[in-house]
Structure 1
Amino acid sequence: MRLCFLVEEHYRHDGMPVEVIRQLVAWGHRVDVLRPGGSLLRMSEVVSAGSHDAWVLKTVSGGPGLTLLEAAAAVGLTTVNDARSIRGVRDKALAAAIGRNRGLPMPTTYAAAVPELLAEIPESAFPLVVKPADGSAGRGVCLVPSPDRLAAMTGQLAGQGMLVAQPYVPNSGVDLKVYCVGGELYATERCSPLHPDHAVRERQVVLPAEVAAVAAQVGAVYGLDLYGVDVLLGPDGPVVVDVNDFPSFRQVPQAAARVARAVLELARTGRAGAPDVIPQAIIPEAVIPEQQPGAAV
């Protein structure tokens, strides 16, 4: 197969997607790499029908890569993930509106074009988690304990574009990251960016059934095939606080090979959008009892 990866400079040396590309090449596939942020692109020629079996996006939010992916989709090419689905989660304000209206357990979300408008949020909603609507990898996420503190942070929050704010969900300080790849779900726990003082070793963990159900629902709601979900275990159950297209897949066993196989399957079937199978939770190898040798890993 011939595949095109759109890779921003930020991810040029990142294990994901570099290892995936290396794996695909080792299997005999041709992979062209475009760096949309560092190249002059002749748009009328760079995207042409039949040029590639699939286009794959690994770029920063707000970068030019999504425009190229949408151009590929417009001429009928398969994209991983679906270009419209990526747009739906890259904008966190839009993602919150879609998710809440489709029944996902997500916090009430406020959006403001300038930080001064956040002052209109009722005091009862504090403490707040405030972040850029196009943020990623924890960039710009901050915990605002009170309206007075919000007023003092106005200058710090300025210049980040659209902001989203959500009431803080009480939790243990440990984030649960759920990855979906090839119809399988893997869970990793790690330190929350809001609680960096918590000494938590990032590791794969058993995925609770109620969280697995929510993570599978996320794929259906947004039409994603490869994705990650940040989940907090709050006092009322799991809460979705972020969704990422084509994440790092850290702690997923043989992640590069699994992602590469998933990309090839999507390219082969030409399918993009809502998964047609329900993703299955995978038990980490380290906690599989000896009497269950057949469990998938």
Structure 2
Amino acid sequence: MKLCFLVEEQYRYDGMPVEVISQLREWGHHVDVLRPGSSLIRVSDAVRAGSHDAWVLKTVSGGPGLTLLEAAAAVGLTTVNDARSVRGVRDKALAAAVGRSGGLPVPMTYAAARPEFLAEIPDAEFPLVVKPADGSSGRGVRLVVSPGALAGMKEELAAEGMLIAQPYVPNSGVDLKVYSVAGELYAAQRSSPLHPGQTVFERRVPLSAEVAAVVAAAGAVHGLDLYGVDVLLGPDGPVIVDVNDFPSFRQVPDARARVARAILDLARGGGSVMGSPALRVPATAGEAG
């Protein structure tokens, strides 16, 4: 097969997607790599019907790669994930609205084009988690404990563009990152960036049926096939705090081959396979990664 990967400089040496690209080439597939953030691209030549069997995106949220992925989809090329679905989760305000309307456990979400508008949020909603609407990899996530603290952060928040704010969900100081690959779910427990001072760690853990059901529902609601979901275990159960269209897949055993195989299957099938009952928790989910 002939595949095209859109990779930003930030991920040029990252295990995902570098290892997956290597695996695909070792299997005899042709893989082109475009770096939309650091090179001139002849769009008219690169994006044309029949050029590739599938396009795959691994870029930062605000990067130009998504535009090229959408262009590929517009001329009828298969994309992994669906380009509309990627756009839907890259915008965190949109993702929250879609998630809540789809019945997912997503916190009440406020959006503001300027940080001073966040002052209108009722005091009872504090503490808040505030982050850029186009953020990724934990960038710019802040715990704001009070309206006074929010006022003191106005200048630094002004540089972040569109912001979203959600009431803080009380938790144990760890969260879950759950990955979906070819319908199988893998969970990792991680130290929370909102609780500085604790030992940083990430390890595979068993996945409960309750969390697995929430993560599977997130994939269906957002129309994603390869994805990750950040989950907090709050006092009222699992809460989704983020959805990623192409995460690191750390803690997924043999991720190199599993992700590569999933991409090939999606390319052969013309794209999304969501809607099938294949989402499942592997029997080995409790093993250490």
Band the TM-score falls in, shorter-chain normalisation: over 0.9
Summarize deviations over 1:109-142 as a string: whole Å, max 9, x none: 0000000000000000000000000000100000
Secondary structure of the residue that 1:131 maps to in structure 2? strand
Map residues 231-242 of structure 1 onto 2, 5 A cutoff: 231-242=231-242
Q: What SS does structure 2 have at the residue aligned with 1:67?
A: helix
Deviates more, 1:62-71 or 1:264-273: 264-273
Runs of 4 or more, structure 1, over 6 Å off, are: none
1-structure distance, mates of 2:132, 2:285: 37
CA offsets 1:69-104 (integer angstroms, 9 cap, x no match): 000000111000000000000000000000000100
1:113 corresponds in structure 2 to 113
**Aligned position for 1:172:** 172
2:9 corresponding residue in structure 1 = 9
Kindly report which structure 2 residues correspond to 1:86-97, keeping only aligned pairs within 5 A, or say none: 86-97=86-97
What's the CA shift for 1:279? 1.0
User: More displaced, 255-264 or 36-45?
Assistant: 36-45
- Secondary structure of 1:259's counterpart equals helix
Gaps of 5+ in 1: 289-296
Look up the match of 2:245: 245
Determine the structure 2 residue equivalent to 1:130.
Answer: 130
Post-superposition Cα deviations, 1:24-81, rounded to whole Å, max 9, x if no partner, equal: 0000000000001112122222101111000000000111100000000001110000
State how many pairs are aligned: 289
1:76 pairs with 2:86? no
1:221-264 Cα offsets, whole Å, 9 max, x none, are 00000000000000000000000011000011000110000000
The separation in 2 between residues aligned to 1:222 and 1:30, in whole angstroms, is 30
CA distance in 2, matches of 1:235, 1:137: 25
Deviation of 1:143 (Å) = 0.2
Change (3 A) 1:40 1:200: closer
Once the two structures are superposed, the pairs formed by residues 239-278 of structure 1 within 5 Å of their partners are 239-272=239-272, 274-278=274-278
Per-residue CA deviations over 1:135-166 (Å, capped at 9, x if unaligned) read: 00100000000001100111111111100000
The 1:54/1:116 distance shift into structure 2, 3 A limit, reads same
| Partner Cα distance (1:285, 1:185) in 2 | 8
User: Percent same amino acid at aligned positions?
Assistant: 73
The 1:81–1:233 alpha-carbon spacing in structure 2 relative to 1, beyond 3 Å, is same
Q: TM-score, normalised by structure 2?
A: 0.97
Whether 2:148 is the aligned partner of 1:154: answer: no
- Equivalences for 1:177-196 in 2 at 5 Å? 177-196=177-196
TM-score (norm 1): 0.95
Q: Mean Cα displacement is larger for which, 105-114 or 199-208?
A: 199-208
